[in-house]
Amino acid sequence: MWSQVKLIKCRRFVAYSFTMMTPFSLSHCSLPFSHPSFFDNMARRKNEPAVRPCPCQSGLALHLCCAPRIDGEDPAQDAEALMRSRYTAYALGEAGYLLQTWHASTRPATLDLDEGGVARWIGLKVLHHIVTGTDSAMVEFIARYRHGGRAHRLHERSRFIREDGRWFYIDGEIDPPQP
Ligand SMILES: [Zn+2]
């Protein structure tokens, strides 16, 4: 009799614990959530920010788009990819990357992105990517930014060159004449 009561109580306890999904009741279970880290990871994921979209507006996440170029892990494969990553570098304040990808013939000695007040880059639209030679290309784009409480629009046609397999920005024409 006593052993039966004990058994019933024990079953109820286990059933109750399982319903409440406590780590205690699942500690001997072979499923993945039996491991205490399952609950830690679950809590951590809940507090994680959503995946950040890339500022270049490619529709991809930042870590799958421009971040690997800026980090030096995956250099741009063409002029448009370089242009996009340079826009993202402006948006993120990565002056070092902008200098690295600026051709030596036109590169400024220093680059202070905060000079004249911080601009907030809010949008990019690539209009054209024209391959002009084996190792040269042009990219025309409109970049939008906010500065001094006002919205601005930069329409530029940039020139790029490839040297030793790497693309570099040369210069750009602002408000280029349209054909
Ligand atoms: Zn991007």
Q: Tell me: the pLDDT tens digits for 89-110?
A: 999 999 999 999 999 999 999 9
Claim: this prediction has a pTM higher than 0.75:
no
Residues 50-70 have a mean pLDDT of 95
CA 69 to ligand 1 center in whole angstroms: 9
CA 173 to ligand 1 center in whole angstroms: 22
Q: So what's the pLDDT on residue 179?
A: 77
- Inform me whether the pLDDT recorded for 17 exceeds 50: no
> Which residues of the chain does CATH 3.10.450.50 include?
62-174
HEC assignment per residue over 130-145: EEEECCEEEEEEEEEE
CA 79 to ligand 1 center in whole angstroms: 13
Contact assessment for residue 65 and residue 80, using Cβ atoms and an 8 Å cutoff: no
CA 160 to ligand 1 center in whole angstroms: 18
Contact assessment for residue 65 and residue 86, using Cβ atoms and an 8 Å cutoff: no
Residues 40-49 have a mean pLDDT of 51
Q: So what's the pLDDT on residue 178?
A: 83
Residues 156-172 have a mean pLDDT of 98
What are the counts of helices (DSSP H) followed by strands (DSSP E) for the chain? Answer: 5, 4
Distance CA 120, CA 170 (A): 23
Q: Name the band, by pLDDT with cuts 50, 70 and 90, for residue 1.
A: very low
- Residue that is written with structure tokens 């039966």 in the block: 4
CA 147 to ligand 1 center in whole angstroms: 22
Residues with beta carbon < 5 A to ion ligand 1?
54, 56, 58, 65-66, 84
Q: Which CATH architecture has domain 62-174?
A: Roll (3.10)
CA 142 to ligand 1 center in whole angstroms: 15
CA 140 to ligand 1 center in whole angstroms: 16
CA 161 to ligand 1 center in whole angstroms: 20
The structure tokens listed for 123 are 């949008």
- Inform me whether the pLDDT recorded for 131 exceeds 70: yes
Q: Name the band, by pLDDT with cuts 50, 70 and 90, for residue 48.
A: low
- 38 vs 111: which has the higher pLDDT: 111
